[in-house]
Amino acid sequence: MQEKKKKGKNSKYSQGITLVALVITIIVLIILAGISINLVLGENGLFNRAKQAAEEYKQAAINEQAMLNSVDEEIVNAVGENPTTNSQKTIEEAKTEEKYFDEETTLKDSNGNKVVVPKDFKIAEDSGNNVTDGIVIEDSDIQNGVGEGRGNQYVWIPVSNIDNKGSNPIIKSNGEEIEITLGRYTFEENGKEQLVQNAEDYTEETLISSHYQELEKFREGKESSKTDGENRTAKDLAGFIKSVKENGGYYIARYEASYGKDGKPNSKISTSYSDSSAPTQEGTLWNFITQIDAAKACDNMYDTVSSDLINSYAWDTAIVYIQKFSEDRDYSRQDGISINANLANTGANKDEVCKIHDMASNCFEWTTEYSAGTYGSSAIPCVIRGGYWYDGEGNTSFRYDFSATSEDMYYTFRPTLYISNPEIF
């Protein structure tokens, strides 16, 4: 009996301990729950902290993107291709504004083609609105402030392809896509061009008609009637080709050169001409000049763009451009045109295509192309291109060689411009 009673007491005691433990456990759980809820939902709880962290991360992402956009905009502005400014402005808009650009500016013509305008130039009043008609730029000055307001004009020659590794076709007004490769060409009787040397291969110095070539390296030239006479070569042929590749084109003077008292050529309609002596009056057709002196006159015309005497790549590619974008599909074979069968002022003849004057007419024009030919014991290293006023004597693609001392009423020249800082050359 005593053993049974003892057992009953122990059962009661065990049951009491269990209830107390349960109550304590519940109380502890409530306390822990409260703490947990406060940690999660309180003012400094995990939930609010996570929410705050998410908002801070989002704001940081926004700030980072804004910074990247700002950097991108600065880079794009630095290369002149801001899609919200320069590249969206059209030739027509720029022409209407009648202002000179204070930085190199990329425009689009009415067909969407790219045109790069150098600093201190503007779109000329009578420029076409697209490359089909001819884009003309005009200067306000020559280097060192000489001849302010001269209004020398140059025509954009668009190029779509140099290395055949890709192309950016040029769009005509009828929507046709045209490829123009910078190169040296020959032209058949019907005007069809034959690419002889791609500009990408300029180091090969390929011969045309057995002895005409464009030398890769620059040399000053040497005037001599003997076999050691030399022509003046392109100032920086590699720089010219690189610039054309990067900018999609280059400029040639709209007119044959007229005399500038600062020793630099004008590119506008001349006021007079002489058939007996070298010019001394500002604005007179600049003939009676040797190839070497013509090249020197074309040097360093501007502070913001490089200039040089026209080379064979620039001359031939300009002919290709004219034939593809004008109605004159055989302009390469065009004989000289004259209003009076005699010498005339620049731009006075009816020889104008795509805003370019007199490539077939008035005077032969010096280039930097080299001739390995000789005449008796004399070197004839200097090459003229184009035709002159006497119908039948030469044509636009005509090549002929003369000595380094040759100067006559028949010979003039025109500069070419390419988009690069002249300080690097």
Q: Is residue 346 one of the residues assigned to a domain?
A: yes
Judge whether residue 75 has pLDDT over 60: no
Q: Is residue 389 in some structural domain? A: yes
Alpha-carbon distance of 401 to 397, in angstroms, equals: 13
Containing structural domain, residue 162: 90-424
Alpha-helical (H) ranges within 79-232 are 91-97
**158 touches 170 (CB < 8 A):** yes
User: Are residue 251 and residue 275 in the same domain, yes or no?
Assistant: yes
Q: Which amino acid is at 5?
A: K
**Do 144 and 210 sit in the same domain of this protein?**
yes
85 within some domain: no
Query: Are the C-beta atoms of 369 and 312 separated by less than 8 Å?
Result: yes
**What is the 8-class DSSP label of residue 310?**
P
Helix (H) or strand (E) holding 402: strand 399-402
Q: What pLDDT band is residue 165 in, cutting at 50, 70 and 90?
A: low
Q: Which among 78, 100, 124 is the end of a domain?
A: 78
Identify the pLDDT of residue 64.
62
Which pLDDT does position 374 carry in this prediction?
A: 83
Q: How many CA atoms lie within 13 A of 139 on its CB side?
A: 26
Residue 103 domain flag: yes
User: At which of 25, 51, 78 does a domain end?
Assistant: 78
Q: What is the mean pLDDT of residues 17-30?
A: 77
- Same domain as 44, residue 114: no
Same domain, residue pair 221 and 325: yes
Where does the pLDDT of residue 69 fall: very low under 50, low under 70, confident under 90, or very high at 90 and above? low
249 in a domain, yes or no?
yes
Quick check: 297 and 265 in contact, CB under 8 A?
yes
Q: Give the side-chain half-sphere CA count within 13 A for 402.
A: 20
**Range in 53-57, 64-68, 148-152, 231-235 the model is least confident about:** 64-68
Q: Is residue 364 within 8 Å of 257, Cβ to Cβ?
A: no
Residue 135 and residue 203 in one domain:
yes
Asked if residue 298 and residue 181 are part of one domain, the reply reads yes
Last residue of a domain, one of 78, 112, 138: 78
Token pair of 313 as six digits: 């790549």
3-class DSSP string for 86-108: HHHCEHHHHHHHCCCCCCCEEEE
**Do 120 and 141 touch, CB atoms closer than 8 A?**
yes
Residue 273, domain member (yes or no):
yes
Regarding whether 175 and 98 lie in a shared domain, the answer is yes
Categorize the per-residue pLDDT at 19 as very low, low, confident or very high, splitting at 50, 70 and 90.
Answer: confident
Q: Where are the alpha helices (DSSP H) in 155-225?
A: none
Sequence-separated (6 or more) residues with CB below 8 Å from residue 418: 239, 240, 243, 244, 247, 250, 251, 305, 306, 308
DSSP, res 303: S
> Structural domain tally of the chain?
2
Share of residues in the chain with pLDDT > 70 (%): 79
Q: How confident is the model at residue 11 (pLDDT cuts 50, 70, 90)?
A: very low
Q: Which two tokens stand for residue 348?
A: 């006075």
What pLDDT, in 10s, does the model give residues 366-417? 999 999 988 877 889 999 999 998 877 789 999 999 999 999 999 999 999 9
Q: Is residue 84 part of a domain?
A: no
Q: Give the tokens for residue 54.
A: 């998410």
Over residues 101-130, the pLDDT tens digits come to 999 999 999 999 999 999 999 999 999 999
Is 338 contained in some domain? Answer: yes
Token pair, residue 403, equals: 């000595």
DSSP of 249-274, one letter per residue?
Answer: EEEEESS--B--TTSS-B-S--SB--
Q: Averaged over 291-313, what is the pLDDT?
A: 95
Same domain, 189 and 322: yes
Give yes or no: residues 11 and 137 share one domain.
Answer: no
Do 50 and 97 sit in the same domain of this protein? no
The answer on 128 and 74 residing in a single domain is no
The reply to whether 44 and 125 lie within a common domain is no
